[in-house]
Structure 1
Amino acid sequence: MSEIASSQERTVNTVRVSTVKAQHHFTGAEVRHYFKTRFTQLIPTRKSIREAREQYPINPFPALKHMNWQQTQFFIVGFLAWTWDALDFFAVSLNMSNIAKDMDKSITDISHAITLVLLLRVVGAIIFGYLGDRYGRKYPYCVSMALIVVIQIGTGFVKTFPAFLGCRALFGIIMGSIFGIANATALENAPVESKSILSGIFQEGYAMGYLLGVIFQRAIVDNSPHGWRSLFWFSSGPPVLFIVWRLVLPESGAYSRRKLEEKKLAENSDKTVSSQFWHTTLLALKAHWITLIYLVILMAMFNFSSHGSQDLFPTMLTNQYDYSSDASTVTNSLANIGALVGGIIVAHVSSFIGRRFAIILCCIGGGAMLYPWGFIESPKGLNPSVFFLQFFVQGAWGVVPIHLTELAPVEFRAFVTGVAYQMGNMISSASSTIEASLGQRFPIEGKEGIYDYGKVMCIFMGCVFAGLLITTLLGPENKGGEVFVNEGRYEETRGDVAALERSSEYALDNFEFKPEVEQVENKV
């Protein structure tokens, strides 16, 4: 969470290392300084943009040439896991009306299954985050995918609503295991020049999963005698291929190097590797507890934005607007194409203007699109609106993987990113239920049992955009850096000092650390 200014000029091949001792008492001046810099350092200067352009190309795709074949495969298997995770989740959202009819329940009842999944994802994030940081990325990834196969097949065979809820509860735990492991697998081995664009591509695996769900819903469910169950059975197949691919790849290189360093530390301190791991864990919690709390709040706002704009949207199209299957497929597809484009573009742009500023611009742009998105029924007006709304929603989300990676300690990257993400999901878990319940207060005249979900989602998302903007504005940023915990010290390496040189000096950029310390340079 610390951002330490440096007056030295940055060279392309130099990474500065700042060692900062933990401090747990904060003066009023330090607190005031932190909040002051949230505003003074938000908007990038011409100098910072110029220096960022020296490091990051305007066209991001040539930067992918820096990746070797193994790094590319790591990214692809991580991306595929996250994409299929999203498809499995949205299988319920896309079939709420079908499942409700099949099980003789209301849409609000079925929305409880979505809430249950979001509530329990944090359990899987904790379990597999620990396993991923303790034992490696490879086998926790394979176990997660194997469990997804089993539970998706089982869900397709349930006959009762309690059994359906039970399967979704188990799915929530398994689903919670995937983000942290997949994110670490995809990004931690990538070169610095490629990480921003890869962050956007990776995060939009979520939108890609939704888009694939829409396509397979139309191609399989609408043409199968087994209805919604066929989508669950189909979705259990591809993860088997992901498992095989991951098994033939080695363990993450970044993880292996870190474990070797941990082993050396244990030998030097006469500790076992296990005791060294828990020793470092304790140090990380002491040093970063404010960071972790902030990340949970930030991810709660992000998850409110995605679930609030997506979970009930297919229901609004079919129930409120009477869209046909073809029309609904087109509109949902445009929404996810907008999400894909926005996530990739905004993530790359954040390399130049900063992570926080990029997110805030998306909140403002998304807020401007709420009225046409929530109140225009005609496809001619709704389709462009939903494209640009999801462009901004998922554009902000595109920054999330790299933003979390830069703020999370390297030693606990899978745990911190996964748990923060899933605890945010847990807090936002009632999004669809809240919207469905509030929708019942706005019945549409002349249509029994049909409610104005558009109005409810519009109001809900207005509040969410405002909350996300304020949370991001007041939060930290560590663009281009990495955080390490090493023998009681907090270390931060940076490849982008320009972002820090927006003010002449600062003593503290958070409430945890006071940088009255020595700064050294390491050649990369």
Structure 2
Amino acid sequence: MTIFFAPLRLAPRPTEPQESLWKLVLEVTPIQWGFYLVGWLAWTCDAMDFFSVSLSVTPLSEQFGRDTTEITQAITLTLLFRSVGAILFGILSDRFGRKWPLVFNLILVAVLSLGAGFCNTYQQFLAARSLFGIAMGGIWGLSASTALENLPVGLRGIASGWLQQGYSVGYLLAACISLKLVPAVRPGWRSLFWTAAGVSAFAALLRALLPESAVFQKARQAAEKHGVVSERDKTKVFLHETKQMLKSHWLLVVYMILLMTGFNFLAHGSQDLFPTYLEKTKGFSAHDATIATIISNCGAISGGFVAGYLSQYLGRRITIIIFLLLSGAFIPLWILPSSFGALAAGAFCVQFGVEGAWGVIPIHITELAPPAFRATFPGVAYQIGNMVSSASAQIEATGAAHLTTMLNGTVVPDYAKVQGIFIGCITAFTVLVTLIGPENHSSRFEKHRAAFDQGGGSDEAYIEEEDHEQSVDVEDKDSQKASEERIEQHESASTEKVPVAV
């Protein structure tokens, strides 16, 4: 049962001696590493493809003859359509498996990113990025389920932090490509989209070489043992269990959408127009703005890794709140200075807090989700939150156009003030939502039945527990039968020993 307004608490103390972190890492098999690294790479590719627009706002404006606000419509449309992809690919993954839905998803991302690089008109570009949003929407849920479900429970917190920072690594790689490759080649901004497409195609190839998730295979075998064998029956059961799950967890759906709305507003509000803010309001060159972006992403990667590790001991919600408050504390350093060093330091610290809190999200919402729907449920909540926050860049661009400041005697848009107010309000909202929410620390979702198994929609439908109960029943019957046989043998022996009267 989901308990809202749950008290903040430390992670429960383990009842059995726990293996050290390094011992757990060494025990991870090559196949498990493969699953995790491919999930991480898929999410990294997703970020590279997405932030290609953020890093190319100025050349795109020149290419299509549009202002910044109009170019950011491409970002808005991408975010709007991501929820469609989350529903589509999440359902395919929970119903048919982790492997081929992710392979197809990555190929689609690669094709659409490649196509965006060939667009010659503004309308073509908007259409390509809208379709790209559908493809992009499926990646997160499939990446998280692929990466986390096969790992030991004791590693999932730190693995979650590093998985989520694949997004920051993708942003970092895109920024490096924008810094070095784009100015050096004739295609210019197009080369960034084409390079990102190539990396996504490579990730699809790697996932195709790996087998199906061992956890998903185990759940599928259990369903077939329970009599759900044909694909038609599996689909019928899947639809029935989905309906039952939504009836039971509709309030949790609303909560997770609110949570992910706050987180997505926070991420997009602090990242999407950061290079534009430094160029337009602070007067930095495109080169220096890109360097500052790289530094901020180094802070994000560090924060996600540290927060994911701490969440194993402090609990998911406590860790999230600590890092959100940390990001809020450094907002003044983000917006007030004018020197490169101070602004870069502020960006590092703010992103350390923002992406530190984000680093706990993959495992936190996967543990909260109904276990049989851990590809669909978190992915859809994540992307609906993205849809609600899709206008972040346009809100900031419009606000900055109306709130102006002076730079070297010239009137410029005041992105500093707009982002400071925006990020501060969203941080407060996200802290509040996290406070009132539930927590399900270290849930054993890898032991759960599949969504196409009878009763799989229930949170308590565990494969091992059911098998254990069956084995106990068998042992009890065997024990009872053995006892009856011993009693019969004893009575027979007693009869034989009765002395006969002469």
TM range (shorter): 0.7 to 0.9
Deviation at 1:62, TM superposition (A): 4.8
**Could you tell me which of 185, 189, 203 is aligned with 1:224?**
185
RMSD across aligned positions (CA): 2.5
SS of equivalent residue, structure 1 residue 388 = helix
Gaps of 5+ in 2: 463-468, 473-502
1:97 aligned partner: 58
Q: 1:52–1:352: 8 Å Cα contact kept in structure 2?
A: no
The 1-side partners of 2:154 and 2:25 are apart by: 8
Deviation at 1:260, TM superposition (A): 2.1
More moved, 108-117 vs 316-325:
316-325
**Could you tell me which of 419, 435, 455 is aligned with 1:457?**
419
Matches within 5 A, 1:110-509: 110-267=71-228, 272-445=233-406, 450-482=412-444, 487=455, 489-491=458-460
SS of equivalent residue, structure 2 residue 119 = coil
Number of residue pairs aligned between Structure 1 and Structure 2: 460
Gaps of 5+ in 1: 4-33, 494-519
More moved, 116-125 vs 239-248:
239-248
Deviation at 1:54, TM superposition (A): 5.3
Task: Quickly say closer, same or farther: Cα 1:218–1:268, change in 2 above 3 A.
Answer: closer
Report the AA paired with residue 475 of structure 1: G
Q: Deviations over 1:435-475 (max 9, x none)?
A: 11011111123665621101100100000100000000000
Deviation at 1:78, TM superposition (A): 0.7
The 2-side partners of 1:298 and 1:276 are apart by: 30
Report the AA paired with residue 320 of structure 1: T
Report the AA paired with residue 338 of structure 1: G
Q: 1:334–1:387: 8 Å Cα contact kept in structure 2?
A: yes
Q: 2:275–2:290: 8 Å Cα contact kept in structure 1?
A: no
The 2-side partners of 1:312 and 1:440 are apart by: 13
Task: Quickly say closer, same or farther: Cα 1:466–1:355, change in 2 above 3 A.
Answer: same
The 2-side partners of 1:334 and 1:475 are apart by: 33
**Could you tell me which of 27, 31, 35 is aligned with 1:74?**
35
Deviation at 1:2, TM superposition (A): 3.0
SS of equivalent residue, structure 2 residue 441 = coil
Deviation at 1:49, TM superposition (A): 6.9
1:42 aligned partner: 8
Q: 2:91–2:376: 8 Å Cα contact kept in structure 1?
A: yes
Report runs of 4+ in structure 1 exceeding 6 Å deviation.
Answer: none
SS of equivalent residue, structure 1 residue 190 = coil
Q: Deviations over 1:93-152 (max 9, x none)?
A: 011111011111000001111010000000011111111111111111111111122111
Q: Deviations over 1:415-449 (max 9, x none)?
A: 11111110010011011110110111111236656
SS of equivalent residue, structure 1 residue 444 = strand
Q: Deviations over 1:284-331 (max 9, x none)?
A: 112222112211111111101100100111101122222234422321
The 2-side partners of 1:265 and 1:278 are apart by: 17
SS of equivalent residue, structure 2 residue 358 = helix
Report the AA paired with residue 313 of structure 1: F
Task: Quickly say closer, same or farther: Cα 1:55–1:301, change in 2 above 3 A.
Answer: farther
The 1-side partners of 2:177 and 2:335 are apart by: 26
The 2-side partners of 1:197 and 1:445 are apart by: 44
Identify the structure with the greater helix proportion: 2
Q: 1:63–1:194: 8 Å Cα contact kept in structure 2?
A: yes
The 1-side partners of 2:340 and 2:19 are apart by: 39
Q: Larger relative contact order (C-alpha < 8 A, sep ≥ 6)?
A: 1
SS of equivalent residue, structure 1 residue 236 = helix
Q: Deviations over 1:31-89 (max 9, x none)?
A: xxx53xx3xx3143xxx5764995474xx455322311100000011110100100100
The 2-side partners of 1:167 and 1:61 are apart by: 45
Q: 1:339–1:390: 8 Å Cα contact kept in structure 2?
A: yes
Q: 1:83–1:206: 8 Å Cα contact kept in structure 2?
A: yes
Report the AA paired with residue 392 of structure 2: S
Q: 1:266–1:276: 8 Å Cα contact kept in structure 2?
A: no
Q: 1:265–1:276: 8 Å Cα contact kept in structure 2?
A: no
Q: 1:82–1:182: 8 Å Cα contact kept in structure 2?
A: yes
The 2-side partners of 1:459 and 1:61 are apart by: 42
Q: 1:409–1:482: 8 Å Cα contact kept in structure 2?
A: no
Q: 1:439–1:456: 8 Å Cα contact kept in structure 2?
A: yes
Q: 1:356–1:473: 8 Å Cα contact kept in structure 2?
A: yes
Task: Quickly say closer, same or farther: Cα 1:56–1:432, change in 2 above 3 A.
Answer: farther
Amino-acid identity (%)? 41
Q: 2:102–2:139: 8 Å Cα contact kept in structure 1?
A: yes
More moved, 135-144 vs 60-69:
60-69
